Structure 1
Amino acid sequence: MRVPRFSAWTQNLCGMQFSILGYGDIIVPGLLVAYCSRFDVWVNSPKKIYLFCCCIAYLCGMVLTFAVMLVTKMGQPALLYLVPFTLLGSALLAWRRGEMRQFWNGTTYEVLDSTREPLLPGVLSPPDL
């Protein structure tokens, strides 16, 4: 994605300079944000505290990325700042709430085998297709 540079705001739109933010910079920390949202549901957190904490940490990491980019006047790998902020923020919250073991291990899901009966009558199961 192209993000306008802060120093280019004084120029016209056609001559504006851009920085590039890769999709990996969004998707990799986004997986942790999605996990935090799911963990909130799993532990029945009333205010979605893990999701909120991880989103705030992502925002802080992105602000730091842009600040370092402004100071050094060079492109910065956003994951260098986003991953530590989101991981440390979420891990510290889990440690503080006494849920670190649950947060680290996650949930166990049972994989359904294809021999089970369909939930809706009249619906074909995968082997019958």
Structure 2
Amino acid sequence: MLPRSCPCGSGSPYAGCCGRLHDGTVSAATAEQLMRSRYSAFAVGDPAYLLATWHSTTRPAALELDRDVRWTGLDVLDTTGGSLLSGTGTVEFRAHYLVGRRPGTQHEHSRFVREDGQWRYLDGLSPA
């Protein structure tokens, strides 16, 4: 079952926000929008979207999502570049999750680049 409000934290309905990216109606206009949509793909369990939005040079052959992880929130901490006219961008974020009743966070500094005119996730580093 798909969520009513978008997991990315925009406050918009899922169908009018990341749902449109997940179903291919629109493409991400910015690196941050792609990052938010990828977080939402983890939250709704859409590995096909994650693979499709991964840069061809770093994309794994397959992706299996951990069904025990429930994503509970996203904080975008910083962005650089990644605008409508940029070719590269970075997004620093903190994603919150639960495994059973144990909370956790994933803090990442993600890099995005355009490939064939579309934003793609290149890679991410955990801040030291």
Q: RCO higher in 1 or 2 (8 Å CA, sep ≥ 6)? A: 2
Q: Do they superpose with TM above 0.5? A: no
More helix by share: 1
TM-score, normalised on structure 1?
0.24
TM-score, normalised on structure 2?
0.24
More strand by share: 2
